[in-house]
A and B are shown apart, each in its own frame.
Chain A
Amino acid sequence: MDAPLIRARGVSRVYRLGGGDVHALRGVDLDIGRGEYCAIMGASGSGKSTFMNLLGALDRPTSGELVIDGEVLQGKRPDELARFRNRSVGFVFQQFNLLPRTTALDNVALPLLYRGWSLKKRRERAEACLRMVGLGERMDHHPSQLSGGQQQRVAIARALSGEPSILLADEPTGALDSQTSEDVMDIFDRLNSDGITLIIVTHEADVGARARRRITFRDGLIVEDAS
């Protein structure tokens, strides 16, 4: 069997706050294979967002071993983490986080800017990604000229532009109405069936129901892992 895409062993994360230590994760063991479709669920404060930040290399574990796509993340320097995020991870946020007054095309091309690609190459790739999410006709629109669902599709195109190994979505439908949520989730389903590894953090049951694997966190530990 292939090595898992994500391998976590005894991963913990402790925040040192004024009043004492807060144990957000208490030794998580988890393997996620290539091409999986996972939902990470749990109440707020359960540690799911902390785990998500670790998977996205936005943060480092306090202790434990975390290997993603063959890269050992603990002990990496900030610049190495930035490079890892740029090449291996695509983020989709609840609030879209698109740059205002910037065209959809340039928003999608943003990760490639930090890869040192030429403008022409960046735009070509960004165009292809926008077509993938069905926004080929709105490339020159600014976020303010797009609906919420369209903005989230631009954000998905941005996450795809760097051809990452993992797509991480943090409450991707949290700011959308139910019909738009369906459309966005349809795109995620399609992307996963095309082969991308998809991890969605959500507390919405119907979003979780679409995933083929549901991992539930409580008090910094995985309490349920159902396929």
Chain B
Amino acid sequence: MNLMAAIAVALTALRVNALRSFLAILGVIFGVAAVITTVSLAQGARDAVESRIASLGASTLNITAGSRARGGRQGGAGSGTPFSDADVTALRTELDFIAAASGLVQSNVTAVVDGANWPTQIIGSNAEYMDVRDWTLADGRMFTEAETQRSARVAVIGQTTARELFPGGGAVGASVRVNSQPFEIIGVLGDLGAGAFGQDQNDVLLAPVTTVRSRVTGFSRAGVRDPVQQVWVKIAPGFNMELATIELEDYLRVRRNVPPGGQDNFAIRNFADLIRAFNETQRVLGLLLASAGLITLLVGGIGIMNVMLVSVTERTREIGLRLAVGARRRDIRNQFLIESVVLCSAGGVIGLGAGVAVARGIEAFGPAMGLTGLAVSVDPSVALVAIGAAATVGVLFGFYPAMRASRLDPIEALRHE
């Protein structure tokens, strides 16, 4: 008997018992839907992580002053001697693997224009910061090194800030006041997307570090000239990140007078690693959910086996007749196996649709229910895997009933009431 004829026979048998067929595959539908939903959420989370890592730049390092101990008590992160503009210049000129570097001073401020105000974050940096972060401009220009040197009151603003302060556009060339200091807006940043931990990076006001330090935040520390809160460096292409990190650490230990064997008084962070670690927990959670879906699928398989066994018993005479008119044992086995696989595959297709619908639903309505930060990504290969898994369940759980059917004695089967 050829395969197409066998499938036609299976479809007829399933159609005859349409309601039972549908009930039989409910378990498979739920299982596949659960797997699709969880895998889509996990994939979405992974994509989000990758884009966040990309938003930081895979080759950037963040350096902050470490903790300073006073009388045996640690002062906490940032309590150590801060870095300064001079440190940034030294890093930039003395280490050949650093492609760009900038000190940073930042503060939460309220930006005011005529008729509007907006709480935002002001970041003071040097002219290279755009290169460090691989940021782009949507309009206007970045401030220059010369403007940084002379503490010019110029600013480049993020897209969110621009939208809030200038709903009608025309930000470049306008004036904005921060702490009563007027800044001329000379540029608008391109879309920076979400930050490493989901914050809106577009809500920002970038100005020369010198200006921000002296006129806005007043950041100072006794004994340190031109201090900055943190330093960002970009490692030049072609240099190994880990080796560069080690060299940077050695250089800074010497520059900051750390005795041999002493504790670093600064911290170098690779944000990409941090985010990966942070998301490892999410991945484990996703795996757990996916396994729950797989277990549902297996339970669905047991449902299929049950229904197939009932079907074999009910159709004992039919099996006897088919054997009498010339069906071989394997024809009978294949007939029931195909029925099981067709059932499960149908369940897989319906489950796939349901799973995608649920995933899209979570994406659409999740924020309204307070589920923020959920991303959904339906990968076409997941669909194939899901239907394949369902068909496999059909083979695994259909095999025993099919074997039982094929081993019936034709005489006994024909006499069956």
Contact B414 A114 (CB under 8 A): no
Known: A58-B410, A59-B411. A79 touches B328 (CB 8 A): yes
User: Is the C-beta of A43 less than 8 angstroms from some C-beta in chain B?
Assistant: no
Contact A58 B2 (CB under 8 A): no
User: Is the C-beta of A146 less than 8 angstroms from some C-beta in chain B?
Assistant: no
User: Is the C-beta of B5 less than 8 angstroms from some C-beta in chain A?
Assistant: yes
Contact A114 B331 (CB under 8 A): yes
What does the 1/0 interface line of A74-113 toward B look like (CB < 8 Å)?
0000110011011100010100010111100000001101
State the Cβ distance, B319 to closest chain A Cβ, in Å.
11
Contact A93 B414 (CB under 8 A): yes
Q: Which residues of A contact B411 (CB under 8 A)?
A: 53, 58-59
User: Is the C-beta of B318 less than 8 angstroms from some C-beta in chain A?
Assistant: yes
Known: A101-B16, A102-B12. A82 touches B328 (CB 8 A): yes
Known: A97-B317, A113-B1, A116-B1. A56 touches B325 (CB 8 A): no
User: Is the C-beta of B385 less than 8 angstroms from some C-beta in chain A?
Assistant: no
User: Is the C-beta of B324 less than 8 angstroms from some C-beta in chain A?
Assistant: yes
With CB as the reference atom, state the residue of chain B lying closest to A170: B414
User: Is the C-beta of A158 less than 8 angstroms from some C-beta in chain B?
Assistant: yes
Measured as residues with beta carbon below 8 angstroms from the partner, the interface class of chain A is: 20 to 34
- B328's partner among A87, A97, A114 (CB-CB below 8 A) is A114
Q: Which residues of A contact B1 (CB under 8 A)?
A: 113-114, 116
- A110's partner among B16, B317, B322, B329 (CB-CB below 8 A) is B322
Q: Which residues of B contact A190 (CB under 8 A)?
A: none
State the Cβ distance, A115 to closest chain B Cβ, in Å.
7
Q: Which residues of A contact B370 (CB under 8 A)?
A: none
Q: Which residues of A contact B318 (CB under 8 A)?
A: 99
- Interchain Cβ contacts within 8 Å, total number: 64
Contact A85 B329 (CB under 8 A): no
A110 CA to B335 CA in the complex, in Å?
14
Contact B326 A87 (CB under 8 A): yes
Measured as residues with beta carbon below 8 angstroms from the partner, the interface class of chain B is: 20 to 34
Contact B410 A91 (CB under 8 A): no
Q: Which residues of A contact B317 (CB under 8 A)?
A: 97
Known: A58-B410, A99-B318, A113-B1. A79 touches B325 (CB 8 A): no
Which of B5, B324, B329 has its CB near the most chain A CB atoms (within 10 A)?
B324
Q: Which residues of B contact A83 (CB under 8 A)?
A: 326, 328
Known: A58-B410, A97-B317, A99-B321. A115 touches B12 (CB 8 A): no
Contact B326 A162 (CB under 8 A): yes
Q: Which residues of A contact B9 (CB under 8 A)?
A: 113
Known: A102-B12, A116-B2. A97 touches B326 (CB 8 A): no
A56 CA to B326 CA in the complex, in Å?
11
Name B20-62 residues within 8 Å CB distance of A: none
What does the 1/0 interface line of A5-45 toward B look like (CB < 8 Å)?
00000000000000000000000000000000000000000
- B326's partner among A53, A59, A86, A119 (CB-CB below 8 A) is A86
A116 CA to B328 CA in the complex, in Å?
12
Known: A113-B1, A113-B5. A97 touches B327 (CB 8 A): no
Q: Which residues of A contact B2 (CB under 8 A)?
A: 116
State the Cβ distance, A136 to closest chain B Cβ, in Å.
22
State the Cβ distance, B153 to closest chain A Cβ, in Å.
86
State the Cβ distance, B213 to closest chain A Cβ, in Å.
86
Known: A97-B317, A101-B16. A78 touches B328 (CB 8 A): yes
User: Is the C-beta of B302 less than 8 angstroms from some C-beta in chain A?
Assistant: no
What does the 1/0 interface line of B78-101 toward A look like (CB < 8 Å)?
000000000000000000000000
With CB as the reference atom, state the residue of chain B lying closest to A158: B325
With CB as the reference atom, state the residue of chain A lying closest to B417: A95
Q: Which residues of A contact B331 (CB under 8 A)?
A: 82, 114
Q: Which residues of A contact B410 (CB under 8 A)?
A: 58
State the Cβ distance, A73 to closest chain B Cβ, in Å.
14
A113 CA to B325 CA in the complex, in Å?
10
Known: A102-B12, A114-B1, A116-B1. A58 touches B324 (CB 8 A): yes
Q: Which residues of A contact B216 (CB under 8 A)?
A: none
Name B392-417 residues within 8 Å CB distance of A: 410-411, 414
With CB as the reference atom, state the residue of chain B lying closest to A82: B328
A37 CA to B5 CA in the complex, in Å?
36
Contact B327 A114 (CB under 8 A): yes
4 additional A-B residue pairs with CB within 8 Å, beyond A82-B323, A82-B326, A82-B328: A58-B323, A79-B329, A87-B326, A97-B317
10 residue pairs from A and B, CB less than 8 Å apart: A58-B323, A85-B325, A91-B324, A97-B414, A99-B318, A113-B5, A113-B9, A114-B1, A162-B325, A162-B326
